[in-house]
């Protein structure tokens, strides 16, 4: 379970978000929709605790933003998968090793890494690209690799920040299909987007944010 309770973030510039409360239950598909600058990325950052709230709190499974210790943040993040608009893949590692990275960091055995990476690549339909470099792939394929990397740890929830922001409509539909498939298997999905038209085409709860507040 992920719960935001009356979350407020104030940047030194005066921008930020306030009074943000919502819950993501097991299996939810939730869209966070609002124009650029509304506060979507800030809300997501409070969930992976890159930004801690100035007021209120965020609960991610057993971890609470009020009480979490710095050394526990990496453990909390294993509950989450995160995907960004700009993919953030390593260009000097092939696809397999990009997806394997999170498992290597936590010291999984090679056999288990191989099994999990191959399954994650199959989930996003790109098993045949395992030995390619990211730059040898299209934007849509790179985003699917980023999704594979995010789900390889079998997270409780996948956070996607404008995952289709750099992609054309057809490619975006392919990414949405991948997210829906992941959700159908029980992983919660929270997707931030400024694209209302895209959201209308899909099932899922929609929460809207403008000027740092939920509508």
List interacting residues with Mg ion (CB under 5 A).
40-41
Find the shortest distance in angstroms from Cβ 110 to ligand ADP.
38
Determine, following the binding rule CB under 6 A, whether residue 56 of this chain makes contact with ligand ADP. Answer: no
Partner whose footprint covers residue 196, from ligand ADP, Mg ion, none (CB < 5 to 8 Å by kind): none
Q: Which of 13, 91, 105, 109 binds ligand ADP (CB under 6 A)?
A: 13
Partner whose footprint covers residue 155, from ligand ADP, Mg ion, none (CB < 5 to 8 Å by kind): none
Find the shortest distance in angstroms from Cβ 186 to ligand ADP.
27
Decide: 7 and 57 in contact? Cβ < 8 Å. yes
Determine, following the binding rule CB under 6 A, whether residue 53 of this chain makes contact with ligand ADP. Answer: no
Determine, following the binding rule CB under 6 A, whether residue 34 of this chain makes contact with ligand ADP. Answer: yes
Other Cβ atoms closer than 10 A to 185:
10
Partner whose footprint covers residue 16, from Mg ion, ligand ADP, none (CB < 5 to 8 Å by kind): ligand ADP
* Nearest-CB residue for Mg ion: 41
3-state SS string for 76-122: HHCCEEEEECCCCCCCCCCHHHHHHHHHHHCCCCHHHHHHHHHHHHH
- How many whole angstroms separate alpha carbon 190 and alpha carbon 178? 14
Which CB, 36 or 91, lies closer to ligand ADP? Answer: 36
Determine, following the binding rule CB under 6 A, whether residue 16 of this chain makes contact with ligand ADP. Answer: yes
Strands annotated E in the chain: 2-10, 16-24, 29-33, 55-60, 63-64, 80-84, 157-161, 188-193, 205-210, 213-214
Partner whose footprint covers residue 91, from ligand ADP, Mg ion, none (CB < 5 to 8 Å by kind): none
Determine, following the binding rule CB under 6 A, whether residue 85 of this chain makes contact with ligand ADP. Answer: no
| Crossing angle between the packed helical segments 110-123 and 95-105, to the nearest 10 degrees | 130
- How many whole angstroms separate alpha carbon 24 and alpha carbon 189? 9
Q: Which of 2, 30, 33, 41 binds ligand ADP (CB under 6 A)?
A: 41
Decide: 148 and 120 in contact? Cβ < 8 Å. yes
């Amino acid at each position: 379970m992920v719960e935001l309770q009356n979350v407020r973030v104030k940047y030194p510039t005066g921008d930020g978000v306030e009074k943000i409360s919502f819950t993501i239950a097991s299996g939810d598909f939730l869209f966070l929709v609002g124009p650029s600058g509304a506060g979507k990325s800030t809300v997501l950052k409070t969930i992976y605790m890159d930004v801690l709230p100035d007021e209120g709190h965020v609960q991610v499974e057993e971890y609470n933003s009020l009480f979490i210790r710095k050394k526990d943040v990496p453990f909390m993040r294993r509950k989450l998968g995160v995907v960004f608009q700009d993919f953030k893949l390593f260009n000097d590692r092939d696809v397999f090793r990009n997806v394997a990275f999170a498992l290597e960091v936590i010291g999984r055995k090679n056999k288990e890494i191989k099994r999990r990476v191959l399954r994650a690549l199959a989930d996003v339909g790109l098993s045949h690209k395992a030995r390619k470099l990211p730059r040898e792939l299209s934007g849509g394929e790179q985003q699917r690799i980023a999704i594979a990397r995010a789900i390889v740890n079998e997270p409780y929830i996948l956070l996607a920040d404008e995952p289709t922001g750099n992609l054309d409509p057809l490619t975006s539909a392919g990414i949405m299909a991948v997210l829906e498939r992941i959700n159908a298997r029980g992983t919660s999905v929270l997707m931030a987007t400024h694209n209302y038209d895209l959201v209308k085409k899909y099932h899922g709860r929609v929460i809207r944010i403008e000027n740092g507040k939920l509508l």
